[in-house]
Amino acid sequence: MSRAVQAGETHRLVPSPAGRTHLVERGTGPLVLLVHGFPESWYSWRHQLAALAAAGYRAVAVDVRGYGRSSKPDGVAAYRMLELIEDNVAVVRALGEETAIIIGHDWGSGIAAGSALVRPEVFTAVGLLSVPYAPRGGPRPSEVFARMGGEEEFYVSYFQKPGRAEAEIEPDVRGWLAGFYAALSGDTMPVPGMPDPHFATRGGTLRERFPTGPLPFWLDQDDLDVYAGEFERTGMSAALNRYRNMDRDWEDLAPWDAAPIVQPSVFIGGALDASTTWMTDAIDAYPVTLPGLASSHLLDGCGHWIQQERAHEVNQILTGWLASLPA
């Protein structure tokens, strides 16, 4: 049985530009900040907290602003990347540290990359899970995503209009999350040739393409209760607002156009994850875009929820990489 609180974990609320950021802390040693993606919470790092603490690190998993027990500022623009980066800096400072290693998954990968890029004096190394680093550049993101769907609508475009995705999700948060997690998991995702759950028919919903069978092997009913309980309490708008700031981020990050991340880095992706299969060019560009890359890993048979689907492998890679970093 899974529990939202494990022995040895400390829950804290610390001041941040968001208002307050909720975090879960375990262990002592160099600070490792863990940043989740959509639609998750600090709980997605439950398997890493103990492993990193056992390896001699102070592992801290946050609820990103708008999620879980962290503050939920008003307004879509409050969820732009530069705001989230400053939340991370505030967490490091609130914990009495000057620097941290930052590791992110999904949107958290982008937030971790942005934090390392914009505040390199704070974030001295970066781990990226599932979503490869691709420097800012090219056309406005909304234009790119609008072209991706053809006769269908790409999920990022679907999420853009406030209230639209909420109307699909919030009447049955638990059921929607179960389907979304299954749709992107290596053991339950639709087989090749089936309609792609990353797209919706015009006027349709994403959920129409989600699997309706059993939960993924890594997600039991108690885990699902944790995630669903948080989103039933907070609603989905703040989490979805991350997608609604992609054009703002493109504008805000113009000073870092095409910039590499030079700190020590590691990448771990799932071989079955669309985030990696669609972004092979970004991975191929790592010698230029991530010159400090120690290693890049694609885990066979793994989908998108990598630190939960392959907790042991991810923990081994991360602790090995962390041990290799300069003291």
Pairing of strands 199-201, 152-154: antiparallel
* Number of CB atoms found within 10 A of residue 150's CB: 8
Query: Taking the chain, what is the end-to-end CA distance rounded to the nearest angstrom?
Result: 37
Residues of the chain with pLDDT under 50: 1-3
**Is there a catalytic annotation at residue 106?**
yes
Choose, from 106, 223, 249, 273, the residue flagged as catalytic: 106
Please identify which residue in the block is written with the tokens 């008003």: 74
**Is there a catalytic annotation at residue 223?**
no
C-alpha distances out from residue 89 to 21, 38, 96, Å? 11, 21, 11
Write down the pLDDT at residue 309: 98
This prediction's pTM: 0.97
Token output for 279: 């972004």
Choose, from 22, 105, 297, 304, the residue flagged as catalytic: 304
Write down the pLDDT at residue 1: 34
Q: What angle do CA 305, 306, 307 make, to 5 degrees?
A: 105
97-145: pLDDT as tens digits: 999 999 999 999 999 999 999 999 999 999 999 999 999 999 999 999 9
Please identify which residue in the block is written with the tokens 């607002």: 241
Write down the pLDDT at residue 3: 47
Q: Residue 298 class from Cβ within 10 Å (0-12 exposed, 13-18 middle, 19+ buried)?
A: middle
Helix, strand, coil percent values for the chain (each to nearest 5): 45, 15, 40
Rounded-to-integer distance, Cα 285 and Cα 161, Å: 33
277-321: pLDDT as tens digits: 999 999 999 999 999 999 999 999 999 999 999 999 999 999 999
Rounded-to-integer distance, Cα 267 and Cα 155, Å: 24
